[in-house]
Amino acid sequence: MSRLKLGVLGSGAGSNMQSIVDAIDRGELDADIKLVLADVPDAKILDRARRHGIPCAYLDCAPFRTKLEGPAEDRCIELLKGAGVDTVVLAGFMRIVKTKLLAAFPERVINIHPALLPAFPGVHSWTQALDYGCKVAGVTVHFVDAGTDSGPILVQKCVKVEENDTPESLHARIQVQEHIAYPEALRIIARGNYRIEGRRVKIG
Residues with a known catalytic role:
113
* Cα separation values, 65 from 57, 72, 75, 182, Å: 18, 12, 16, 26
Our finding on whether 29 is near ligand GAR (CB under 6 A) is: no
Contact between 89 and ligand GAR (CB under 6 A)?
Answer: no
**Closest by Cα among 56, 53, 34, 60 to 45:** 56
Least Cα distance to 159 among 103, 96, 114 occurs for 114
In this structure, the chain runs to a length of 204
Closest residue to ligand GAR, judged by C-beta, is: 92
Binding segment for ligand GAR (CB under 6 A), chosen from 7-15, 67-75, 80-88, 152-160, is: 7-15
Q: Of 1, 58, 8, nearest to 32 (Cα)? A: 8
Binding window for ligand GAR (CB under 6 A); candidates: 13-21, 53-61, 100-108, 183-191: 13-21
Q: What are phi and psi of 99, to 5 degrees?
A: -65, -25
Site map 107..146 versus ligand GAR, x via CB under 6 A: -----xxx--------------------------------
Q: Does 178 bind ligand GAR (CB under 6 A)?
A: yes
Using rule CB under 6 A, residue 177 touches ligand GAR: no
Asked if residue 176 binds ligand GAR (CB under 6 A), the reply is: no
Binding interface with ligand GAR (CB under 6 A): 10, 12-16, 45, 91-92, 112-114, 175, 178
